[in-house]
Amino acid sequence: NPHLEKMKEDILYHFALGTGTHDFPALFGDVKFVCVGGSPSRMKAFIAYIAEELGLGSPGGDYPNICAGTDRYAMYKVGPVLSVSHGMGIPPISIMSHELIKLLYRAKCSNVTTICIGTSGGIEVVLGKTVIRNTDLDEQLAKEVVLGKTVLRSTNLDEQLAKELMQCGKEIGRFNTVIGNTMCTLDFYEGQGRLDGAICLYNEEEKLRYLKEAYDSGVRNIEMESSVFAAMCNLSGLKGK
Amino acid sequence: NPHLEKMKEDILYHFALGTGTHDFPALFGDVKFVCVGGSPSRMKAFIAYIAEELGLGSPGGDYPNICAGTDRYAMYKVGPVLSVSHGMGIPPISIMSHELIKLLYRAKCSNVTTICIGTSGGIEVVLGKTVIRNTDLDEQLAKEVVLGKTVLRSTNLDEQLAKELMQCGKEIGRFNTVIGNTMCTLDFYEGQGRLDGAICLYNEEEKLRYLKEAYDSGVRNIEMESSVFAAMCNLSGLKGK
């Protein structure tokens, strides 16, 4: 975005951080991995786990929320790993991604790998299986709306990273891991063919036919954020999965 | 939804409430007004304000979060008023609306009025002005995706309620209030023509042209939740604004 160069101060509103008040290179310059997930408490538990795995655990075991000035998102950091919550669905992960990319840019980070983790619904996938996404399939196409016009953007993710994660899964041996396509929906109930929402104008047979069609086109899980996250990784040159 | 009658237990996953563990009519049967807004802390401040206004303030001034079992949403209640956070954007307000409508149904509530409050960007509207929305204009059309197919749903809201709110605004005299159309976008940055996102592939002139077109079609503010909220109020018979 060429407009960024003209700005005196860049305020990341939804992180409650700004270049005028925070020293981005000092705070974030060493970041090499960004892991994002829906729930703030889960991303806090994740950073505590990562700290322990990397031998960087804090004595009290407490990790301060870098975005404590807002209740929109939570952010934690240990060594080269940043852990950020993104809420549920495309709009909040889109806002988070805009501000995260600007944060990494202002902090002059390089060679950053981003990984989107979280729960998803599996299609004919054994419970507990981990799905590494290959390509994101939006409900119809991977599209965003810019100035009222629909724009199509590629949601292909890094193939090499998928292979590396698959290899990690095999080495750990505790997870049943597959690589598959992910379907990204705008809603949890009607968007995913669930029968237990407040409104449901289809029957079980129609639901199963819909899920079978998705499975036949390579879809192995359904969630609500992947397409825009993938598109923004692609556009901004971040290696993502 | 006819499937709801066949369910032994109805679990509102994202509220951490269920008919098997909570007595919905006892907890929520007297609800007549539901106010929803984005931020959990703002909805807590709102319930404290309402409690004071209604003379129902708690001695300690503290209001427990009914959804404390999850960090997805926060919910507070005082007398007939329920205050619920919905996060940012259409997917989280869609999930919240499904579970809220089921909550009101299971609690056997009747004649419930819902009001969506919150910040929005104004178009040629003086800062601090309150916009009461008339009709929601989605970026292109008010649409939802059900089983992979786009469904168009009406987003007209209750006209009488708009007039009543306008009258309240006049009586209080502290707010500059207008009735106008609301544009609902999927993104805060590119979706609303902002120049300060991580990605921006248009210039200021194109942005201003876009906003002028919106203004000319009656749009007075932009936000990110209204269309689906309006459509779900319509479908479920809730009086909404």
- CATH code of A55's domain: 3.40.50.1580
- Pair A20, A105 in one domain: yes
- Pair A67, A99 in one domain: yes
| Owning domain of residue A169 | 120-223
> What local confidence, expressed as pLDDT, does residue A138 receive?
45
Q: Which of A118, A145, A170 is the endpoint of a domain?
A: A118
Q: In chain A, whose CA is at the least distance from the CA of B186?
A: A91
The residues near A198 (Cβ < 8 Å, ≥ 6 apart) are A189, B1, B97, B98, B99, B100, B101, B102, B105, B232, B236
Q: Does B197 touch chain A (CB under 8 A)?
A: yes
Give which of A89, A139, A145 is closest to B137, Cα–Cα: A145
In-domain check, residue B238: no
- Pair B199, B88 in one domain: no
Average pLDDT, chain A: 85
> What local confidence, expressed as pLDDT, does residue B60 receive?
74
**A52 phi and psi angles, rounded to 5 deg:** -65, -45
Helix, strand and coil in chain B, % to nearest 5: 35, 25, 40
* Out of A126-140, A166-180, B114-128, least confident range: A126-140
Residue A198 has pLDDT above 80, yes or no: yes
Residue B76, by phi and psi: left (phi above 0), alpha (psi -120 to 50) or beta? beta
For chain A, the farthest-separated pair of C-alpha atoms sits apart, in whole angstroms, at 57
- Pair A126, A88 in one domain: no
> What local confidence, expressed as pLDDT, does residue A48 receive?
93
Q: Do A145 and B187 contact (CB within 8 A), yes or no?
A: yes
Tokens of A204: 């079980």
Nearest-neighbour CA in chain A from B37: distance (Å): 12
pLDDT in tens, chain B (241 residues): 888 988 899 999 999 999 999 999 999 999 999 999 999 999 999 999 999 999 987 777 789 999 999 989 999 999 999 999 999 888 999 999 999 999 999 999 999 998 888 777 776 554 444 555 555 444 434 567 777 777 777 777 777 888 888 888 888 877 778 888 888 888 889 988 899 999 898 999 999 998 888 888 888 888 888 888 888 888 888 876 6
Q: Does A206 touch chain B (CB under 8 A)?
A: yes
Q: Do A79 and A85 contact (CB within 8 A), yes or no?
A: no
In-domain check, residue A166: yes
- Pair A62, A24 in one domain: yes
- Pair A137, A110 in one domain: no
> What local confidence, expressed as pLDDT, does residue A186 receive?
84
Interface contact B91-A188, CB threshold 8 A? yes
What is the 8-class DSSP label of residue A2? G
Reported as a pLDDT band with limits 50, 70 and 90, residue A233 is confident
> What local confidence, expressed as pLDDT, does residue B107 receive?
96
Q: How far apart are CA B11 and CA A233, in angstroms?
A: 35
Q: What is the tally of structural domains in chain A?
A: 2
Chain A (90-129) residues lying within 8 Å, Cβ to Cβ, of chain B: 90-92, 94-95, 97-102, 105
> What local confidence, expressed as pLDDT, does residue B143 receive?
62
For chain B, the farthest-separated pair of C-alpha atoms sits apart, in whole angstroms, at 57
In-domain check, residue A236: no
Question: Which residue out of B102, B196, B203, B206 would a mutagenesis test of the A interface target, given it has the greatest number of A Cβ atoms within 10 Å?
Answer: B196
> What local confidence, expressed as pLDDT, does residue B141 receive?
44
Give the mean model confidence (pLDDT) for residues A220-230.
85
- Pair B1, B114 in one domain: yes
Q: Which of B88, B118, B148 is the endpoint of a domain?
A: B118
In-domain check, residue A29: yes
Residue A50 has pLDDT above 50, yes or no: yes
In-domain check, residue B129: yes
The complex's ipTM works out to 0.83
- Pair A84, A127 in one domain: no
Chain A (153-192) residues lying within 8 Å, Cβ to Cβ, of chain B: 185-191
Chain A (47-76) residues lying within 8 Å, Cβ to Cβ, of chain B: 71-72
> What local confidence, expressed as pLDDT, does residue A132 receive?
57
- Pair B34, B82 in one domain: yes
Q: Does B2 touch chain A (CB under 8 A)?
A: yes
Give the mean model confidence (pLDDT) for residues A173-185.
81
pTM: 0.86
In-domain check, residue B239: no
> What local confidence, expressed as pLDDT, does residue B78 receive?
95
The residues near B136 (Cβ < 8 Å, ≥ 6 apart) are B142, B155, B157, B181, B182, B183, B184, B226, B227, B230
Tokens of A72: 């929109």
In-domain check, residue A231: no
> What local confidence, expressed as pLDDT, does residue A227 receive?
83
> One-letter amino acid identity for A103?
L
- Pair A19, A70 in one domain: yes
- Pair A104, A136 in one domain: no
- Pair B112, B145 in one domain: no
In-domain check, residue B154: yes
Residue A147 has pLDDT above 80, yes or no: no
